[in-house]
Structure 1
């Protein structure tokens, strides 16, 4: 699917700057918020104190922007109308702390942001920008908008340019597949065997989607959290994870799929709708769709 991006350069830049500005506070708060809350999020997952803290920060700061009229989070049941002052504004859907289960083991995690020019839940065609912040040994931010995909270093809450026009390498070398192997469908297991049989491909799976996605963008390859026997509609959320990551990967010259079509073509039916996610180099995703039939 061709990426269609409307022009909101100032508004999108303001949203990206706000997300970057909050990154140090979120990262610094992680050590003291590794405990579980007594609540689950709308997807039924146990919520960490860090999840709730990041969500509140993003709602307060993004919700105060004039251009943002709706805020939705993986941690909230419903869309929250904000104080946006534009008659026609932007909707932000956010995973405040992707991979928060990695906090206990001190592994990679971060934030995923989707910016839609439509009320939520919205179609992939309504995306005008997407980004993720990665808390690794350093903090980086990958953004996708009308100017393509750009990587930044986040230093003291400021974005410092690292690389413009980020593209997936032509020679893919990494793969990461989520879900328990016994829970994979027979068709996906067949595809996994084909990938694993390629000696040029190396397994890279860390339990936080954006960490695995960043590996794919860096080295080329494929990430998948497929439909499972126990979860035929998939695990990841379309609005908060599937659409924004598909937007970034497709903007970088790659491809996304729910198994038969681009994730950006999946019809939204619910704010917390789940979807199988497969993203990466074009030839690998095309091969997957052929195997899944």
Structure 2
């Protein structure tokens, strides 16, 4: 299969699984005994989604490996040139409160862990009132509605609005650094707070209305809490392709390859002016 065919097959497989993932949440709101490699307690829904995506994605021609936030190591598949990294159920703690969550996908042409220079496509699924899927391939961001496992294009060339409207900042306020608190105090005077506890829901608000999402370095977690491989790079690439910018506080999320599969990073994505201000404030 060509690279374009592999990417399309990955997207079709993720979209096809989306209704099953959504329906599987019923009865899978309990916590499992184990933790994921980041030390977070796993819901039954996390484990189900991870196993479903592993089975279906590794069955595709051209997909050599599968890696997930929910497992320690990369899983080998058949021969192929492409490597898929997933956060199978981003914001899964929202299952208990019945709030939005999603799936994040990165397709790379180098073995994992791999950086932004090796990313060939990215996507996320948002399980909100509607199931939608935002994809990035060949520099174009497309939003589709997923109905019965099939994508129906809604916006073919998605871009951030020029005028930012919303912001969402993660982490407990007492754990914010002084520099980030200064940045937050400026932003909150200008934009409306929209924060739902699932990165995908918050990023989609920014992509829809313009603004900034951040999960910064914290005094309790100086390297941040989100994973560069599974969240930072795919989402950073989507937002940048939509005309925005990303940073880990110093440089684009795509600029630094992860040294470890589960490496954490601060994450800032949104309108370029707001990201540039964040970098300036954090480096002052």
Q: 1:63 aligns with which of 58, 65, 85?
A: 58
Which whole-Å CA distance do the structure 2 matches of 1:123 and 1:133 have between them?
21
Q: 1:192 aligns with which of 180, 184, 187?
A: 184
Q: 1:108 aligns with which of 80, 92, 100?
A: 100
Q: How far has the Cα of 1:267 moved from its partner?
A: 2.9
Structure 2 partner of 1:214? 204
Query: What RMSD over aligned residues (CA atoms) do the two structures have, in Å?
Result: 0.8
TM-score normalised according to structure 1 size = 0.95
Q: How far has the Cα of 1:123 moved from its partner?
A: 1.0
Where 1:100 maps in the other structure, the secondary structure is coil
Unaligned runs of 5+ in 1: 1-6
Which whole-Å CA distance do the structure 2 matches of 1:209 and 1:267 have between them?
21
Structure 2 partner of 1:242? 232
Q: 1:119 aligns with which of 108, 111, 116?
A: 111
Unaligned runs of 5+ in 2: none
TM-score normalised according to structure 2 size = 0.98
Which whole-Å CA distance do the structure 1 matches of 2:112 and 2:217 have between them?
24
Q: Is 2:53 the partner of 1:75?
A: no
Structure 2 partner of 1:272? 262
Cα deviation code 1:46-97 (max 9, x no counterpart)? 00000000000000000001110010000100000112x33xx100000000
Q: Is 2:144 the partner of 1:152?
A: yes
Q: 1:282 aligns with which of 272, 278, 282?
A: 272
| Runs of 4+ deviating beyond 6 Å | none
Contact 2:164 2:209 in 1 (8 A): yes
Cα deviation code 1:127-185 (max 9, x no counterpart)? 00000000000100000010500000000000111101100000000000000001000
Which whole-Å CA distance do the structure 2 matches of 1:278 and 1:202 have between them?
17
Q: How far has the Cα of 1:8 moved from its partner?
A: 2.4
For these two proteins, the number of residue pairs brought into alignment is 282
Where 1:265 maps in the other structure, the secondary structure is coil
Structure 2 partner of 1:176? 168
